Amino acid sequence: MSSPACNPQTFAQKALARAAGLEATTVGQIVDARPDIALSHDNSAAIRLIWLRFGRDQVWDAGRMAITLDHAVPAPTTRHALNHAEIRRFVVEQGIDNFFEAGEGICHQVLSEEALVVPGQLILGADSHTPHFGWMGAFGAGVGRSEMAAIWATGELWLQVPEAIEIEIRGELQPWVSAKDLALEIIGRLGADGGLYKSVEFTGEGVGKLPLSERMTLANMMAELGCKSSYLQPDDAVFSYLARGRLQQAAASPRDEALEETAQELERGALYPDPEAPYEQRHCFDAGATEPRVACPHTVDNTVSVGELAHVKVDQAFLGTCTNGRLEDIEIVHRILDGRKIAAGTRLLIVPASRRVLQAAIRKGWIDDLLEAGAVLGTPGCGPCMGNHQGVLAPGEVCISSANRNFQGRMGTREAEIYLASPAVVAASAVAGHIASPAEVLET
Amino acid sequence: MSERGSRVWKYGDDVNTDLLFPGKYTYTLRDPEEIAAHALEDLDPEFATGVRKGDVIVAGRNFGCGSSREQAVTCLVYNGVVAVVAESFARIFYRNAINNGLLAVVCPDAVDSIEAGDSIEIDLEASTIRSPAGELPFAPLAPTLRAILASGGLIAHIQQTLSA
């Protein structure tokens, strides 16, 4: 019984053992982990400059790299354009097939759609929202530029096996309440450093009741809890989605048998925490009791009930980002705007998370309706989330945003205020002209 | 590493990466001088002009939370900051700090004991901060991290390992 393999393990212990080629790991152990995918984006040109210091002609494995242009697309300035041009040259020179051009979408969304990462794998990204891939039961962690350069050179990076927190989800979300509200509830209660360095592992019957888009939002937002990685136990819905993503590269409508076979293969790679895994903390949240929450300036854990903010006038409502720019999020905005007008003096900005999301929304007819209602549409990508372009704010303005960070200065000026909320609250606020719950708008 | 006579800049909890180095500059600025000039501009406009080589930052909880941007660290390094002492660090910032040779010290007692403008000395060998308020011990850094710091950062450390 003294062998570590006999002891119950968390997901993080198992995933890092696999990535390091070990039978098992202990909490606190430092391992040399080999990522299945190394992700970078507009920062790839800067990473390349660091990588050049190794004096090598070739990266360790071009097939395991993925690069997206998403943080400032299309290029808003000549300097941004030069940055993109450097990245394109590097991609060609190194033969990196997993390259996604400006307009393809946000890295976490695109890699999920393409099923480039699958359950049980390790993805390291030069992006702090890499815990996003926990939605499918993969271990995703953010790293810095030097670390990504080191991975490009050597294919590995030291990681410490983190402590883990179990969050059990019970029940099912009420109509017009989303995983964003649940995430804000969790972060508000545990604090912006409540998961510092830790693996946040979601378990319980409530996980399977969350639509996949909501699971993505939940895993993604755990970055704002300070976590190293997050994890939701994967189920058949996850395996089917990813199987479709894998096979659609080869054929537009893959055969049912092929989908089934691929889904089963993905299931075999999935990892689950053991029943008696050594969690440092255990929490339980009731999805059914969750109500719309809003994070007030300037920290994500500064959350209140939406009803407390009716006095806050909104200049810009922003729907988008890796947290909440998916088709289901646009659908919610479309449903709330149905037959209603955007308030005078308020702007609604929609930036789809990917080209596929945008195309699907166009096919549904939603984009036409939203533009008719007065919404402004941006190129798929990160949009104004970190203040680069496409809808930054003026001093004194207020933005209600579906993004993940409301830090002072984040959207271009320190004299603007950013409130974070669900797509439903963003849409309702666009209609009301002040921060509003969906119920308030739908009743009128 | 022992830092003598370091002058303290003091900040609170949750100093995030946007406050350390605004996101709007992340994909355009590469020149160290330019990066240094924007350090902390939305938190403390006097920092970039007033900071001197050898200075340290003392702060509260969750220092460096938010983005993975490495300029949140390098903007301090380029300004001559030699260490950040905090109650706790966000993990990517912590790694970026060590990887760029910036000493990151977890010392919860420092926040209440050390004032802005104090002169302090960080003794890495003894895992102690000497301050006007007395000696403040901190947990020793893991050997892996000390090795990276001793090499002058991650890239140099890996280069040394590969050529060894």
pTM of the shown model: 0.96
Cβ of A77 within 8 Å of Cβ of B28? The answer is yes
Work out the minimum CA distance from A3 to partner chain B, whole angstroms: 25
Q: B99 contacts in A (CB within 8 Å)?
A: 144, 146-147
Residues in chain A within 8 Å Cβ distance of B66: 128, 405, 407
A220-271 pLDDT, tens digit per residue, is: 999 999 999 999 999 999 999 999 999 987 777 888 999 999 999 999 999 9
Cα separation, A327 vs A182, whole angstroms: 19
Radius of gyration (C-alpha) of chain B in whole angstroms: 15
Sign of the torsion angle spanned by Cα atoms A82, A84, A86, A92: negative
B25 to chain A: which residues are within 8 Å by CB?
none
Mean of pLDDT over chain A: 96
- Residue A1 banded pLDDT, cuts 50, 70, 90: very low
User: Residue B153: CB partners within 8 Å, gap ≥ 6?
Assistant: A146, B99, B100, B101
Query: So what's the ipTM on this one?
Result: 0.95
* Residue range A184-212, pLDDT digits in tens: 999 999 999 999 999 999 999 999 999 99
Whether A408 and chain B come into contact, CB under 8 Å, resolves to yes
Look at residues B63, B145, B90 and name the one whose alpha carbon lies nearest to residue A160.
B145
Candidates B21, B24, B25, B31: best to mutate against A (most CBs of A within 10 A) is: B24
- Domain spans of chain B, in order of start: 2-163
For B1-34, the pLDDT digits (tens) are 455 568 999 999 999 999 999 999 999 999 999 9
Supply the pLDDT for residue A254: 81
Reference A334, options A427, A420, A400, A399; nearest CA is A427
Q: What is the pLDDT of residue A248?
A: 86
Which residues of A are less than 8 Å from B154 in CB distance?
146-147, 150
pLDDT at residue number A155: 98
* Residues on chain A touching B155 (C-beta within 8 angstroms): 50, 53-54, 146, 149-150
Which pLDDT score, from 0 to 100, does residue A2 have? 42
Report the alpha-carbon distance of residue A122 to residue A133 in Å, rounded: 9
Mutate to test the interface with B, among A41, A386, A390, A392 (most CBs of B within 10 A): A386
Distances from the Cα of B47 to the Cα of A186, B18, B67, B117, angstroms: 35, 15, 21, 12
Please report, to the nearest 10 degrees, the dihedral formed by the alpha carbons of residues A221, A271, A35, A242 taken in order: -70
A24 close contact with B: CB closer than 8 A: no
Q: Using the beta-carbon criterion (under 8 Å), do B88 and A196 form an inter-chain contact?
A: yes
Give B42-85 pLDDT, tens digit per residue: 999 999 999 999 999 999 999 999 999 999 999 999 999 999 99
Q: Chain A residues with CB inside 8 Å of B65's CB?
A: 192-193, 226
Task: Quote the Cα angle for A377-A398-B44, to 5°.
Answer: 115
Q: Measured between CB atoms, which of B16, B28, B88 is closest to A79? A: B28
Is the CATH number of domain B2-163 3.90.180.10? no
Residue type, A14: K
A150/B154 Cβ within 8 A: yes
DSSP string, A308-362: GGTT-B-SEEEEEHHHH-SHHHHHHHHHHHTT--PPTT-EEEEE-SBHHHHHHHH
Rounded to a whole number of angstroms, the distance from the CA of B128 to the nearest CA of chain A is 23
In whole angstroms, give the CA distance from residue A115 to residue A432: 39
Q: Do A144 and B28 touch (CB under 8 A)?
A: no
Q: Sketch out chain A's domains with CATH numbers.
A: 10-234+270-285 (3.30.499.10), 293-442 (3.30.499.10)
A126 touches chain B (CB under 8 A): yes
Phi-psi region of A95 (alpha: psi -120 to 50; beta: other; left: phi over 0): left
- Judged by a CB distance cut-off of 8 A, whether residue A46 touches chain B is yes
Residue with tokens 């240094």: B36
